[in-house]
Structure 1
Amino acid sequence: MAFRILAVTCTLITLWHFLLRPVVPLTLRLPSTHSISQDHKPVDGHVLPAEPAALVVSDKAGYSRWTVFIPQASEFPLQAKHYSAICSQSEVLREQIAQESRLVRAKDWRHKHGYYSVDQTFIDVKDAESIGALPTSADLEYSGGVCKKSLTFVLDAGDASFGKSLLLLWLSYGLAKKEGRAFFVDDSRWAYGRYTSFFSPPPSPGCVQPPKHHIVPCPHSGKHLLVSASTSQWTFGSAFEKEFSHLRQYGVERSHPIYELVRTGYQDLFKLTGEDALYASSRLAKFREDARQHAGPVVGVHIRRGDAHPLEYQYSQDYLPLERYASAARKILRTQLHATLPETHTEVDDFHKFLEYVHSPLLLGSDDPEIFDSVELKDAASPFVVQKAQERIQLATKATLDLASPAEPLREPGSAYVKHVDENSGWEGGFYSSLFFALGRSRFHSAGKDSRKTTQAPTVDDRNGGVATPLSEDTRRLRELVGRAYLLDLAVLGDSNGVVCAVSSASCRVLGVLMGWDALKAGRWMNVDDDRPWSWDGRQKKKVTAQAPLLICA
């Protein structure tokens, strides 16, 4: 009998401990890495941090919740390091709340719930303000017409890759449209300048963007979400992959739902402005007419060099052979010709002779201007006639720059003294991010001062995430020209009958989006790097089939 009483008592104590004991609030527990600002008014007897941070507050019921505090006077957008820090801190606070309160008992709730599970440990910034957990400001209160849900995409200051920015931009737009969020683009820190220098403005959402301090990088269930290159791992991480991938399929079919999101962004946002749009359409019309006269298709090739190296291990420290691109282009040509070959040529014995007759143009886009004059490529591309995808804006080599603007002599006449002054520097070898960020920089500036005229809009952070500095007019103009040349290449190549490229380059994955799903399925978009299928980030590997073991008999 005594044993039964003891067992019942132990059971009741256990139930009380896990289910009925009162919750101990974790009010406003600040990350230890953040300093305290004496300029902020106390909230609930606690002083707010001086920098943006994730912190714990108590809701009306006394439960501990985490939220995001961004000082209302902060510049928008924040530096990339601040957004990354907020999301990293939130993961720690979420685990602490799960351990110390009964609001969320399962510490591994992220592994048991999908992408759209609501984070019960989070309280939205506006809701935290309404209960007095965060300070409010009368002139920043919500008014009529403010979006109920939104996604703001911030173009990054530290990423020189235009292609990666496009993929992330289009994916964010497609996700926002699927979720019924208003979509906004912020270009105030973009390394390339103004978004509208390249594209028409995004479709109007029909509502007003919320106060800047209400826009948070995580969690995804937040009302007003911010996405950038620095926060993409939280928005487009493993949970996103599980939600939007056909996990039981292989190849391009695995990424089809994600592809559709990116394609939606492309269709609504890729609208070149001004004369560039007219030039791209007229250029492509000329190529189509040339191909029609020779009864052949229009095939394009994009060759990325510079600081992008192949995924294929054999060439990971070098570049793919040009013959590989040319061979794939001929394969597309044969496929297209077999589909449209006139009946008079169906019995041609030597198909190569017919290819020589066709003289179909091979449109070439590349970040390395020396590729266009490569004898190796011209020989490998036969019977194609290699032509530049666009000639409106061209990246210059050092030889071209020397002819247009000779460099100053490095040695004074009659003197042994050599001046250490940079000579003209071209794009030999391709696009390098360090060269891009050096565009327009004065040779003779010192102590971080540039003697050139500057413009206050847009301002950017440099790659190290330092203090925002204004772009000089020369820098803005040169970077804009590089971006426009890149987009013209994409616009022409992406509307051809077939494209060959290397998926290790973001440009190749962008071209897959421009070509369309049917082109991917039909093999008119061909990747020559490691045989990987299309994926928005290039991480999906090719399917490896098991092979029978080799038996050696003595």
Structure 2
Amino acid sequence: MRDRRNTNLSTSSASSSSSTASVPSRTSLSEKRHPGTPPSSPELPSPVTRSHRPRVGSRRLMAVRTLAVVCCVLLFWRCFTSWPLLASGGGVSSTLGQELVGTVGLPDEPTALLVTDSSGHQKWTVAIPQNASFPLRDGKYNDVCKQGEDLSRRLNSESRLSRVKDWRRRGSYYAPDRSFLDIADAEQSGALPASQRAPSEDVCLTSLTFALNTDDVSFGKSLLMLWLSYGLAKKENRAFFVDDSQWPYGKYTSYFAPPPPQGCSPPLPHHILPCPHQAKHLLVSAATASWTFGSSFEEHFTHQRVHGARKYQQIYSLVRAGYEGLFKLVGNDAEYAQSRIAGMKEDAASHGGSVVGMQIRRGDQHPHEYQYRSDYLPLERYAAGARSLFRKLLGGREPSHALHGDPADFSTVVEYVHSPLLLASDDPDVIARPELSQAAAPFTVQKAQERILLATKATLDATSPVAPIREPGSAYVKHIDENSGWEGGFYSGLFHSLGIAKTTSDSGTLERLGDLTGAARGEVPRQAMRMRELVARAYLLDLAVLGESDGVVCAVSSAACRILGVMLGWDAVVHDRWVNVDDGRPWSWDGQ
């Protein structure tokens, strides 16, 4: 009888195609020699059980490692926190760009520079010559702030202590710059020469001065920034002052009552700094708006997780505080505005109607909506917005049935017709456009105010015609437009040309060029300033009347539209009594 052959095949025997049954594998021999031992396979690892699981380390080893990590952390922390600030060799160092040049005295130009404080540490400050005019011109503030940012970045990179302590608050609007030394403190500590003129005994501890300057001739934008600055000053418990020495519209008190008394005296002019925001005496203007109302301001005062107008509610509150504290017209304009408002409201209330205003901006301001970015919004859109607002104010009643002879709705038509639709625009021709009157029917569009009206050239030619000029002994007639009207809306070039003499003689041409040169230097002729004041007063009267209406339709790209949203109140903005017809954007102080 043949012996039983081993049927178990090893890996090597199974994978080899040339092996035969007569040549046993190594594993087979091993099995024969050790029948009680299972075969070992070099290809497969031995099984791991819970009792044989490899240990990562003993408790003692873990404790040593933990202690070593803690020691390293403490060592690094010690290195960071005990690293000293670099102390300067002495005195004052001025900075021009990225180069530091030691000087004995202060520079002759406004600049950011390095000083040594009483502790021997380097700080940066802003030095303005004590005899410099206030406010500064030609973008000096912008240059100074850029230099200050460079110095602050350099000092903070050298200071480990500042970097460790402020890493959580970096970028915050109210995060203090520990490398900055206020100029008043620098003079008091001896880091800078003392002021030649002693400050008043009752000088304000902190203040904000708003400078109305020539960087932007838009009255509306200046008004919004003025109100926002006032609201910010009140929030930060700063005294508030207004400087109008370089305002192209003249004196602030020509239009408004003086700001409320602050109970203290303004600081010295060279103590008023444009940046940083922690400066004791801060300057805000169109030239420094990006430093005061930039991205960090937006992040701090906006609700990032809220959409629509409610996102800007905190900023709106600041602007509203400025409106309530500063918008007080003076003289006969205030009396006229009150009388006009009272008459409109009384007429509307007697017929159960409402007062709705429209503000239409033309000129050099174009809408946000892409389709009309290089043009203007159709007038029909404003009229449609006004009709919709009337329906909302009157409870949704629609006069269409009454227009077809339904006597039951005749009273509704009367209410609609006797609801004043007031128009304010920088283009005096808009009110005569047939597309506006047809789209607004059955309403009759009225001017918001008729005390000061902008006149076009056609109107002036009709009221005060000018004959062509013929030079003596010449058959050539010079057809020169003596009448120059307000054409197409507000343009900065048209504004600057107001009141400039236009004559045909050589001497007259030289006189006109002299007027333009003087206006560029800030020396505005009396006649030109008088015409500028008339334009500004007409603008303010339009705002005063429309701001007291029950609702307003306008385009948010216009500063006047955003101002009217502030004047109507927050309830009007969130409940759609302030209607924006431009790109569906919510209210924002800058229109973006």
Q: Same fold (TM over 0.5)?
A: yes
1:360-379 matched pairs, under 5 angstroms: 360-379=419-438
Relative to structure 1, the CA distance from residue 282 to residue 131 in structure 2 (aligned partners, 3 Å threshold; closer, same or farther) is: same
Measure, in 2, the Cα distance between the counterparts of 1:362 and 1:302: 11
Relative to structure 1, the CA distance from residue 162 to residue 45 in structure 2 (aligned partners, 3 Å threshold; closer, same or farther) is: closer
Relative to structure 1, the CA distance from residue 530 to residue 352 in structure 2 (aligned partners, 3 Å threshold; closer, same or farther) is: farther
Question: 1:295 corresponds to which residue?
Answer: 352
Contact 1:217/1:225, CA 8 A, preserved across alignment: yes
Runs (5+) with no aligned partner, structure 2: 1-68, 503-507
After superposition, the C-alpha distances for 1:130-168 in whole angstroms (9 at most, x for unaligned) are: 122222134x23332110010000012131111101110
- Select the residue among 479, 490, 493 that pairs with 2:532: 479
Question: 1:184 corresponds to which residue?
Answer: 241
Measure, in 1, the Cα distance between the counterparts of 2:169 and 2:475: 70
- Select the residue among 532, 541, 544 that pairs with 1:488: 541
- Opposite residue 144 of structure 1, the aligned amino acid is E
Q: SS of 1:471's equivalent?
A: coil
Measure, in 2, the Cα distance between the counterparts of 1:336 and 1:10: 71
- Select the residue among 11, 22, 25 that pairs with 2:87: 25
Q: How many residues align?
A: 511
- Select the residue among 276, 283, 287 that pairs with 1:219: 276
Measure, in 2, the Cα distance between the counterparts of 1:413 and 1:62: 81
Contact 2:501/2:512, CA 8 A, preserved across alignment: no
Computing the radius of gyration over CA atoms, which structure comes out larger, 1 or 2?
2
Is structure 2 residue 147 aligned with structure 1 residue 82?
A: no
Question: 2:182 corresponds to which residue?
Answer: 124
1:205-284 matched pairs, under 5 angstroms: 205-284=262-341
- Greater shift, 285-294 or 361-370, is seen at 285-294
Is structure 2 residue 484 aligned with structure 1 residue 425?
A: yes
Query: Post-superposition shift, 1:418?
Result: 6.1
- Select the residue among 155, 170, 185 that pairs with 2:227: 170
Query: Post-superposition shift, 1:60?
Result: 1.3
Question: 1:39 corresponds to which residue?
Answer: none
Measure, in 2, the Cα distance between the counterparts of 1:61 and 1:99: 19
Is structure 2 residue 458 aligned with structure 1 residue 399?
A: yes
Measure, in 1, the Cα distance between the counterparts of 2:240 and 2:133: 20
Query: Post-superposition shift, 1:128?
Result: 0.6
Relative to structure 1, the CA distance from residue 424 to residue 438 in structure 2 (aligned partners, 3 Å threshold; closer, same or farther) is: same
Measure, in 2, the Cα distance between the counterparts of 1:437 and 1:309: 20
Measure, in 2, the Cα distance between the counterparts of 1:384 and 1:516: 25
Contact 1:509/1:535, CA 8 A, preserved across alignment: yes
Measure, in 2, the Cα distance between the counterparts of 1:173 and 1:185: 10
CA-atom RMSD in angstroms: 3.2
- The TM-score, its normalising length taken from structure 1, stands at 0.85
Question: 2:156 corresponds to which residue?
Answer: 98
Question: 1:435 corresponds to which residue?
Answer: 494
Measure, in 2, the Cα distance between the counterparts of 1:17 and 1:438: 65
Contact 1:97/1:104, CA 8 A, preserved across alignment: no
- Greater shift, 24-33 or 242-251, is seen at 24-33
Question: 2:393 corresponds to which residue?
Answer: 336
Relative to structure 1, the CA distance from residue 17 to residue 45 in structure 2 (aligned partners, 3 Å threshold; closer, same or farther) is: farther
After superposition, the C-alpha distances for 1:27-81 in whole angstroms (9 at most, x for unaligned) are: 6443336999xxxxx9x95332211111111111121111010000001111150
Contact 2:230/2:322, CA 8 A, preserved across alignment: yes
Q: SS of 1:169's equivalent?
A: helix
Q: SS of 2:201's equivalent?
A: coil
1:25-64 matched pairs, under 5 angstroms: 25-26=87-88, 28-32=92-96, 46-64=104-122
Relative to structure 1, the CA distance from residue 507 to residue 10 in structure 2 (aligned partners, 3 Å threshold; closer, same or farther) is: closer
1:451-530 matched pairs, under 5 angstroms: 462=520, 468-530=521-583
- Opposite residue 518 of structure 1, the aligned amino acid is D
Measure, in 2, the Cα distance between the counterparts of 1:235 and 1:492: 31
Contact 2:200/2:265, CA 8 A, preserved across alignment: no
Higher relative contact order, structure no. (Cα contacts within 8 Å, ≥ 6 residues apart)? 1
Query: Post-superposition shift, 1:326?
Result: 0.5
Measure, in 1, the Cα distance between the counterparts of 2:361 and 2:80: 59
Query: Post-superposition shift, 1:91?
Result: 0.8
Measure, in 2, the Cα distance between the counterparts of 1:125 and 1:221: 12
Relative to structure 1, the CA distance from residue 418 to residue 144 in structure 2 (aligned partners, 3 Å threshold; closer, same or farther) is: same
Runs (5+) with no aligned partner, structure 1: 1-6, 37-41, 455-459, 463-467, 540-554
Q: SS of 1:446's equivalent?
A: helix
Measure, in 1, the Cα distance between the counterparts of 2:271 and 2:185: 10
Q: SS of 2:94's equivalent?
A: coil
Q: SS of 1:31's equivalent?
A: strand
- Greater shift, 307-316 or 349-358, is seen at 349-358
Q: SS of 2:380's equivalent?
A: helix
Relative to structure 1, the CA distance from residue 12 to residue 129 in structure 2 (aligned partners, 3 Å threshold; closer, same or farther) is: same
Contact 2:169/2:175, CA 8 A, preserved across alignment: no
Measure, in 2, the Cα distance between the counterparts of 1:353 and 1:64: 80
1:346-385 matched pairs, under 5 angstroms: 355-358=412-415, 359=417, 360-385=419-444
After superposition, the C-alpha distances for 1:388-425 in whole angstroms (9 at most, x for unaligned) are: 00000001100122234434625547746565855422
Relative to structure 1, the CA distance from residue 126 to residue 408 in structure 2 (aligned partners, 3 Å threshold; closer, same or farther) is: farther
Measure, in 1, the Cα distance between the counterparts of 2:212 and 2:526: 20
Query: Post-superposition shift, 1:522?
Result: 1.6
Measure, in 2, the Cα distance between the counterparts of 1:201 and 1:304: 29
Measure, in 2, the Cα distance between the counterparts of 1:340 and 1:211: 61
- Opposite residue 524 of structure 1, the aligned amino acid is R
Query: Post-superposition shift, 1:470?
Result: 1.7
Query: Post-superposition shift, 1:505?
Result: 0.3
- Select the residue among 175, 190, 195 that pairs with 2:252: 195
Measure, in 1, the Cα distance between the counterparts of 2:162 and 2:408: 69
- Select the residue among 179, 189, 192 that pairs with 1:134: 192
- Select the residue among 389, 396, 399 that pairs with 2:448: 389
- Opposite residue 492 of structure 1, the aligned amino acid is V
Q: SS of 1:129's equivalent?
A: helix
Q: SS of 1:174's equivalent?
A: helix
Contact 1:64/1:101, CA 8 A, preserved across alignment: no
Question: 1:65 corresponds to which residue?
Answer: 123
Question: 1:446 corresponds to which residue?
Answer: 510
Q: SS of 2:96's equivalent?
A: coil
Q: SS of 1:30's equivalent?
A: strand
Query: Post-superposition shift, 1:185?
Result: 0.3
Relative to structure 1, the CA distance from residue 180 to residue 351 in structure 2 (aligned partners, 3 Å threshold; closer, same or farther) is: farther
- Opposite residue 204 of structure 2, the aligned amino acid is C
Q: SS of 1:372's equivalent?
A: helix
Contact 1:441/1:450, CA 8 A, preserved across alignment: no
